[in-house]
Amino acid sequence: MNEYDYIVVGSGIGGLYTALLAREQGSVLVITKGSIDDCNTKYAQGGIAAAIGKDDSTQLHIQDTINAGAGLSNEETVNILAKEASARIADLVYFRVPFDTIDGEIALTMEAAHSVPRVLHAGGDATGEQIESALSKKVRDSGIQVLENFLATEILVEKRKVAGIKAIDRRTGTEEEFQCRFLILATGGAGQLFKYNTNSDVATGDGIALAFNAGAEITDMEFFQFHPTALRMPGVPPFLISEAVRGEGGMLRNAEGLRFMFNYHEKEDLAPRDIVARSILNEMKKAGSDRVYLDVTHLPPHTITTRFPQIYRFCLDRGLDITKAQIPVAPAAHYMIGGVRTNSWGETNIMGLFAAGEVACTGVHGANRLASNSLLEAIVFSRRIIERTKNKVKEKVAKEENIKDIQVSLSQRPIPKILPTPGLAVLQQLHWDKAGIIRDKDGLNQAAGILAGWQNALPRPTDQPSYELHNLILTGRLLTEAACIREESRGAHFRSDFPQNVPKWKCHIVWQK
Selected catalytic residue, list 118, 181, 273, 495: 273
Residues of the domain holding 461 = 404-511
Annotated catalytic, 439?
Answer: no
- Residue 321 to residues 131, 136, 238, 463: CA-CA distances in angstroms? 28, 33, 17, 42
Q: Is 391 part of any domain? A: no
Please give the Cα distance from 293 to 252 (Å, whole number): 6
The CATH number given to whatever domain includes residue 429 is: 1.20.58.100
pLDDT at residue 392 tops 60: no
Q: What angle do CA 150, 342, 17 make, to 5 degrees?
A: 50
pTM of the predicted model as reported, rounded to 2 decimal places:
0.95
Q: Of 332, 359, 378, which residue constitutes the final position of a domain?
A: 332
Q: Is 489 part of any domain? A: yes
- Would you call 338 helix, strand, or coil by DSSP? coil
pLDDT at residue 400 tops 70: no
Q: Of 332, 366, 387, which residue constitutes the final position of a domain?
A: 332
241-267 tens-digit pLDDT: 998 899 999 999 999 999 999 999 999
Mean pLDDT of the chain: 95
pLDDT at residue 395 tops 60: no
Please give the Cα distance from 319 to 426 (Å, whole number): 31
| H helix intervals, 236-318 | 243-247, 273-287, 301-307, 309-317
pLDDT score at 62:
98
Rg over CA atoms, the chain: 22
pLDDT score at 393:
46
Q: Is 81 part of any domain? A: no
Query: What's the total number of domains in the chain?
Result: 2
Please give the Cα distance from 179 to 485 (Å, whole number): 38
Q: Is 248 part of any domain? A: yes
Q: What phi and psi, each to the nearest 5 degrees, are found at residue 139? A: -65, -45
pLDDT score at 394:
53
Q: Of 314, 332, 350, which residue constitutes the final position of a domain?
A: 332
